[in-house]
Structures are given as C-alpha cells and as structure tokens.
Structure 1
C-alpha cells in the first residue's frame, strides 16, 4: 500500500503502523491526523474510498465519511459551550428547557445525566424506522414520552441511539437551532474543519467527496474492548436485553451511505468528518490552534474529562468511564493516557484529546472489522503515537 502524506520527525512509528494496518490488519481506506500544541504533526491517508472493493477510486486528503459514534464527542461540545456561555445549567432538570420531557417519571433527569449516559433512556418501547429517526420530530417525541429503564442518576448505560434526540432537542429548545447548524456556525466553520452533523447540499454535490462505509453485519458496541466475551455475547443475542434494544432503537438499520442519512442531523451516529477534521476539532478544545482562542475554557475542559460514570455499563455490560459527553481512557476504550478524553465510533473511527501531552487525534476508516475487541487498527496507531512521544516506552 502506497501511504500518502507526511509525519514530523520522530513520529515515523505512526506512519509504519498506518502502513501495517493495510498490510496486516485488513484496512481498505483510511486516514489519520495528529496535532500537538496546535501544530499538525501527522497527516496520512491511503487505500480506496469504496468499502467493498468494487472500485479503485483512491482516498484523497479531503475524503470524509460517516464516523458513527465518534460524532458524540463533537456533539457533546455544544451543551458544554452553552453552559460555558451561561445558557445551560448542567444541574437543572431537562424539563426546565423542554417541558414535555417531564412525562413518565423523568422530572428529575438532569442535563448532566444526558451527557453522562445516566438518564435511563437508552431504549424505546417502539423502535423508530429510519425515516422517523431523521425527521426531526419523531425521535424527540419518543424519548419525551419514554419511561426510564432505571431510576435516573443511579446507574449508567450507553445511550447508543437515543443520545441523538435527547441532546439534539435540548440544544434546539435552548438555542432555537439544530445541533448541526450550531456546530457548522460556531465550531467547524470558524475552525476550517471538515466536520458536519448533517452534510450540506454543497458537500453532497461534490463528486467523490464522501467515502462509503461498510455496513455492520450485527449489533456491536462502538469499537469498545469487550470483556467478558460470553456475557457480552449473551446480551447481544437476547432481543429483550437493554443491550440489544439500545442498538435497535432504529430498526431496521439505516443505510449509512444513503444521501438522506448523510444529510440527517443525528448527533449520536451520523456525523461526517475527515481525520483532520476530527483532530482539528479536538485540538481546538485544548487551545493554540492556528492562533485561535481555545473553545473550552479551563473549567469546561475539566468538566469534559472529570469522571461522571464508571463501572458496569447496563447496556455495554463491561465497565465504562464517561465524563460529560466524552468517554475517558480505560480498559473498554483505551486512549493515549489516563487524562485523555474523546469518543470511538463503531467500525474503528476515533477522535480524542490528551491535555497533558497537547495531543489531539483523529482516525477514520471505511472498513468494518468483525469479531474484534478494541479496534486493532486504531489501537496500533495510538500505541505508535505513544512510542513516538516516549521512545523508550515498551508498546505491546
């Protein structure tokens, strides 16, 4: 595989790991970008845009794709920035901003519960069709009427799909704008980042701009390291489990390569980005990007990565760790270091920041690997990055 792009001196191990992903780990098309203290030090791409091997159209520096749950990390910045501006109280009941949400015993669900997966709303009594999921009305109405699966605030469980309508409607009630519109105007546009929640028509009309992604064969947990295997397998095999129902809140699965889906504003799962767009976004949270003011004030950065949820996840079964809207480094989702925060996406895409080292990272891939724990390709790149930062570090 002819890997394209550049790496700064000392970060050659990342290039080697990226090339090895194609040679040994089944990579088809992908890109990785890394910033350090606001300066891009890795910018690599390779492979083809198609996910099924039917064409040979090469990946280019501007190739973007659906990044699935890595979208959650981008979307989470919106309520945190609204809080930073004094427009959202994280400890206020969601019903303060969204009165209809108070139904079915949800009066005490707080805004912070939505962001830390503690709202008790990972499932719907009736799954939504793909058309309903993206119409902007059915999803918010469904979660507003839904009774919690557990007492809100007492436990956590990954809100795989319902996060879209919970967070999206909250932002709409507070600002009168959609999450995608807010991200475009306040984050991606000013940053010059190729990053969208709801792909605009101008980008949809650019031939070859967006790479297709391989469809998933069965429910899976967003690229997490899954242990114990039998417990997880049993949960996914049981149609009545919270695990299975959470990932089936949209049924049947939407076609992620459909232009209508790409245009949809689903902040849980349908964001589209380049690797550089993801890395640039996380770099902006830390500050120092191209001389621009950092997006997160120090107190907001602390909120994003302070542990809110930890331990057995009622949906993912394994132990997970969340801050406010972000996954934190841990066994289920290894990042660069203990202080790192970000979000993986099912199929391998990954974005995160590590304030202590000044690193921000973005990786996108159009291949869907099966029967894996933490995605081997993303983890190989993270290990190589760690080795580049600490040459004496032993990397497994």
Structure 2
C-alpha cells in the first residue's frame, strides 16, 4: 500500500492505496479538480483486504476539512443495509421470503394487500411506492405513524404485477418485517448484527455524539438537461403519480436536521462513509462471511425484477431482492444520470445524489463512495461512475459497452 496526499483547489486529499488501483486515485482527484467535488471518501476491498481508502476536501464549501472519520447521509444506500438484515433473518429461518407478509404482519393484510409476499417488499413490486395521504410534518421521523399509514393504504397496483421504486416506503415495509421477525427494531438489529461485528461506522439512527463528524448534505441544483425527462414531468405535472408523491409528499423532512439523523428511516437516512459501505459489502463479495450462507448470497445477487419502465422512476430498472443491479440507460434522451454500470454479478445500491455501495462476488471486490455535494439525477452521476469505471479497469475489465463491466 502507498500513502497518498494531494493538494487540490477543494482542499487536501489523503489516504492509502494499492498501486494497482492508481486509476481510482486519479479519478478521485479529477472529481475535485474538474467535477466540483466538495468532500468525499472512496474505499475498495479486494479478496477481503482494503486496496483503496482515500478521502478529503471539505465538510462544507469553505468549511472544515473532510477527515478520515467524517461521515454523511448516504440516502438510499441505506436500503442495502436494511435488505441485508432481511436476508440474514431469512438465512436463519426466521423470515421466509416466499411467505405472505400477513404471516408476520397481519395488520398489513387489508385493502388489496392480502396476497403480498415478503419478496415483493424487497423487489419494489408490493404496490406501495409511496403514500397518497398527505403526510404530517416530521412524518418520516415517526416510525409507528408511517407503519400505520402503510397498513391502511391501498396499493397503487395489484401486488406483484409490476414494480415501481419504493423510494422511501421500504424503510417501513421491509423494516417492519425485520422488526417482527427479529423481535427488535431494524436499526438495532443492524447495529448489533452487522455494524458492530464488522467494526464499521454505519448507523440507521445516528447517536448524538456522532453529529460533530457529520458533513451536511449540499443539495443538487436543478439540471436543465433533465427538464424533459419522464420523471421530472411526472413530478411537476401529475400530483397523483408515485414520482410526484415520492419527491414532494415528505412531511417537510429536513435531512440535515438532528431529528432526521436520529430517526430510523431504513431506506434513506443511513449515516456512514465509503469505508463503511465497502466494509458492509466486503463479506458479501467473499462468500457471505459470517453474515449469510452461500445459497442466500446467490439469491441476494440474482435479478428478481426488471422492467422497461419503472412505475416510479419511469426508466428501465433491474433489481435483485433489495438491491440494484447494473442499469445502463445511457441511450435514453433527456434522462441524464440514470445509469449505474457495474459488473454483471454485482449488487448494491445507489443513494440520492450519487453515493454508492456494492459487492461483486465475481471479482471479490466491494466498493463504497460517499460525498456531500449531491448530483442531480436518478442514479449515478459522473463522479461516482468514474470511480466505478476506474475500479473495474484496474482489475483488467475490458469494456462496459454491453451494459455491464466485462472482461
């Protein structure tokens, strides 16, 4: 491993890396020099060993330095953590992914949701992409309130017949199943069974003493290139659409508030860094470790649902059970930043603004990237994808022209 230190216009970058992965370091530097990165951490493990861990910049524009233990919200990367909890319980025989939700959560089985399967909660086909009910202020911070609303809600479609990204509601659909199967809330289960044993800084419900380490999120500026996208048009013009409700019916959530950080929102408020994301996925890139068996791991990485038009995001999507698979939407017009191109075996999750964590069991690599300046778009922007591309080319992968990185 080599030490790394570089002064950029955004501040000091530092860390360590295996020389084989110098292209990742170069891409990280380029993000700060030409792509307006403010603060970030990128981390990669290979065959269980850390081969890249680099960080730097600022916690806010012109603010304090982003240091080794800085953390930030990783938004929907949190779904990877929540889904891991569900798969661990399935592996232990406490949660049957093929069973009805009603077997664990009878109060949910009403108003057209009686036949919903546990697996549908994970693959975004349960028909609960959001809630039609206008949410009260602070709704996302009130776990029991959100669970009760979802119990009463009618699905947007017959469960299982199609999928639409459950962008926020997965926190309480999958989260409550974990709660019922484990006998304790999902945030505590993750802390006790994943974060602590792996020794990673990753919280779903962040302790107050961590707040000084948090880099506030810098929200994305609108991108004129996306004005004509189906998603943007639905948000602006169709108040009954899942896209509109997902973005605008949020109970005035302030994701930079202490109240939000302290809540348990298992789809959107995980607090970690690239190191924590790579650390969570490291066992899953290497046979499952002490988290899950090889059979469960194989199921976790298999495509469970794919569509030409996701009912929420309105782009083609591909999902495993709780995880994103490689999605290549580069040919779409007026849909910038709507791709996330990984290896064919890889599975993980993008976070709003461009953070990413994933495992690739084919090459035994795990990857994590977080940042504080969010990019505009549905999936990865050029900063995150540049790092992913550099990681695969460092391993000798030849091309992603097929929609996945291939040798």
TM-score of the two chains, using structure 1 as the length reference: 0.91
Partner of 1:223 in structure 2? none
Partner of 1:117 in structure 2? 124
Question: 2 CA distance for matches of 1:217 and 1:26?
Answer: 12
- Structure 2: any 5+ residue segments left out of the alignment? 1-7, 330-338
- Larger RCO of the pair (alpha carbons < 8 Å, separation 6+): 1
Question: 2 CA distance for matches of 1:9 and 1:288?
Answer: 26
Question: 1 CA distance for matches of 2:123 and 2:147?
Answer: 18
Partner of 2:3 in structure 1? none
Instruction: Trace 1:241-252 onto structure 2 (pairs within 5 A).
Output: 241-252=241-252
CA deviations 1:68-122 (Å, max 9, x no partner) are 0110011100111100000011111111111110111111000000000000011
Partner of 1:230 in structure 2? 229
CA shift at 1:168, angstroms? 1.6
Instruction: Trace 1:187-198 onto structure 2 (pairs within 5 A).
Output: 187-198=194-205
CA deviations 1:265-302 (Å, max 9, x no partner) are 1011000002100000000223379xxx4412111111
Instruction: Trace 1:369-388 onto structure 2 (pairs within 5 A).
Output: 369-370=375-376, 374-388=380-394
Does the 8 Å CA contact 1:228/1:318 hold for their aligned counterparts? no
Q: 2:292 aligns with which of 292, 296, 299?
A: 296
Question: 1 CA distance for matches of 2:44 and 2:88?
Answer: 23
Does the 8 Å CA contact 2:284/2:361 hold for their aligned counterparts? no
CA shift at 1:178, angstroms? 1.1
CA shift at 1:243, angstroms? 1.2
Change (3 A) 1:130 1:174: farther
> Secondary structure of 1:250's partner?
coil
Asked if 1:85 is matched to 2:77, the reply is no
Q: 2:321 aligns with which of 321, 324, 327?
A: 324
Instruction: Trace 1:162-177 onto structure 2 (pairs within 5 A).
Output: 162-177=169-184
CA shift at 1:372, angstroms? 8.0
Q: 2:301 aligns with which of 298, 301, 305?
A: 305
Asked if 1:26 is matched to 2:36, the reply is yes
CA shift at 1:218, angstroms? 6.8
Asked if 1:214 is matched to 2:210, the reply is no
Does the 8 Å CA contact 1:335/1:341 hold for their aligned counterparts? no
CA shift at 1:393, angstroms? 5.5
Change (3 A) 1:297 1:371: closer
Partner of 2:332 in structure 1? none
> RMSD value over aligned CA atoms?
2.2
Partner of 2:161 in structure 1? 154
Change (3 A) 1:372 1:112: closer
Instruction: Trace 1:47-66 onto structure 2 (pairs within 5 A).
Output: 47-50=57-60, 53=61, 55-66=62-73
Change (3 A) 1:218 1:264: farther
Instruction: Trace 1:259-274 onto structure 2 (pairs within 5 A).
Output: 259-274=258-273
Q: 1:315 aligns with which of 312, 315, 323?
A: 312
Does the 8 Å CA contact 2:353/2:380 hold for their aligned counterparts? no
Does the 8 Å CA contact 1:188/1:194 hold for their aligned counterparts? yes
Question: 1 CA distance for matches of 2:86 and 2:248?
Answer: 26
> Secondary structure of 1:137's partner?
helix
> Secondary structure of 1:295's partner?
coil
Q: 1:338 aligns with which of 344, 350, 359?
A: 344
Does the 8 Å CA contact 2:44/2:366 hold for their aligned counterparts? yes
Question: 2 CA distance for matches of 1:294 and 1:361?
Answer: 19
Q: 2:109 aligns with which of 76, 79, 102?
A: 102
